[in-house]
Amino acid sequence: MTKHFGTASVRFSNPPSIIGAAAIVGPKEGEGPLASYFDKISADILFNKDTWEQAESELMRQTIELAVQKAGLSAEEINYILAGDLLNQNSGSVYGARSFGRPFFGLFGACSAIGMAMGLGAMIVDGGFADNVVANASSHFCGAEKTFRFPLELGTQRAPTASWTVTGDGAVVLSSNGNGPFVTSATTGAIVDLGQKDVNNMGAAMAPAAAEVIKNHFNDLYLPHDYYDVIATGDLGLYGSKLAEQLLQDSGFDFGERLVDCGALIFDNENQDTHAGGSGCGCSATVFAGYFMKKIRDGEIKKMLLVPTGALHSVVTIQQGETIPGIAHAVAIERKM
């Protein structure tokens, strides 16, 4: 049976259920407006480890452990872990997943990672290849600054359009059995690159990809524009989200207040000095696994489209004069099937 439609949308015939979700964040996120929605706030940004990289792996390990526990499963009942992060060679995920001894797929979609992990994970479950999978994404402010910008010790001033990488991990357990919420459909994005080169304005680089995948999703599946209560982009931030909104409006999609951005939600910019807002794989992952999952479970949100966004450049490609390729993946989560 064909389950795919249009550009790259799939509708699941047996929508996988999210039977467990967990979000653990660092101290700064724990001082933000969504603090009460996270499962755990670590006062120690090193998570009791010696390096930023080890800290991210430990954060990832703890979050998966908690999500699996909340799902009422043991690690042995997880068929696959799908995980992405920002560090070179997926170090955050690799070393964090190591102790579980479960079949492992490392993903790279930059900050779109949780969308990719949930989309692929749902295909694996709906396709009959697994009973339970973990979809995970993590990032760490200090590790990301070291990898992509400057060592923190330099105290470099930040551009107003720069975003603040979230220290956080969001994990969801998708299962062939469960009472929801369900992953009902997904649209996978292509790389969209309009020539943006400014790494201090990644929202602008990702906005066209976000607009594109949202349009494709609605068009491919013939959905009315008011189908979802919430459409949440990943981490376009305060500036990029305006661009995406404009691009969508130009194409006849006016979602009004339904359209929000995880990067704009997670910090209080006025008091936390986060400039464009939150970013990083952990941004959409924690805001979804923490904030939105609670609102869905409480019935406040019945249907939502999560659209994590990623900027796929590396330091080396930017130094060579390349532009920033953007990508976004859309995943639909509905309270009932």
In the complex, the smallest distance separating the C-beta of residue 299 from its own copies, rounded to whole angstroms, is 30
Angstrom CA distances, 39 to 25, 291, 327, stand at 8, 10, 29
Interacting residues with its own copies between 188 and 207 (CB under 8 A): 188-191, 193
β-pairing, 132-139 vs 80-84, is parallel
| Bond before 181 cis per omega within 30 degrees | yes
Angstrom CA distances, 32 to 23, 189, 209, 241, 287, stand at 14, 30, 27, 19, 12
Q: What residue type is assigned to position 176 of the chain?
A: S
3-state secondary structure of 299: coil
Cα separation of 337 and 325, whole Å? 35
Q: DSSP letters of 283-298? A: HHHHIIIIIIHHHHHT
Q: Which is nearer to its own copies, 205 or 230 (CB)?
A: 205
Q: Which is nearer to its own copies, 152 or 315 (CB)?
A: 315
The gap from C-alpha 88 to its chain's centroid, in whole angstroms, comes to 18
In the complex, the smallest distance separating the C-beta of residue 125 from its own copies, rounded to whole angstroms, is 9
Select the span of 1-9, 251-259, 265-273, 290-298 touching its own copies (CB under 8 A).
1-9
Size of the site for its own copies (CB under 8 A): 61
Residue 132 CB partners (closer than 8 Å, separation 6+)? 19, 71, 73, 77, 78, 79, 125, 173, 174, 175, 176
Q: Which is nearer to its own copies, 75 or 223 (CB)?
A: 75
What is the x/- site pattern for its own copies, positions 299-318, by CB under 8 A? -------------xxxxxx-
What is the x/- site pattern for its own copies, positions 110-149, by CB under 8 A? x-----x---x--xx-xxxxxx------------------
8 binds its own copies (CB under 8 A): yes
Q: Is 190 exposed, middle or buried (0-12, 13-18, 19+ CB in 10 A)?
A: middle
Q: Which is nearer to its own copies, 36 or 88 (CB)?
A: 88
CB 267 within 8 A of CB 278: yes
In the 8-state DSSP scheme, what is residue 89? G
In the complex, the smallest distance separating the C-beta of residue 282 from its own copies, rounded to whole angstroms, is 16
Interacting residues with its own copies between 53 and 82 (CB under 8 A): 53-54, 79-80
Query: For its own copies, which residue of 33, 45, 70, 108 counts as binding (CB under 8 A)?
Result: 108
Select the span of 24-32, 40-48, 103-111, 247-255 touching its own copies (CB under 8 A).
103-111
Q: Which is nearer to its own copies, 71 or 81 (CB)?
A: 81
91 binds its own copies (CB under 8 A): yes
Q: Given the rule CB under 8 A, which residues bind its own copies? A: 1-4, 7-8, 10, 13, 50-51, 53-54, 79-80, 84, 86-91, 94-95, 97-98, 100-110, 116, 120, 123-124, 126-131, 188-191, 193, 312-317, 320, 322, 325, 327
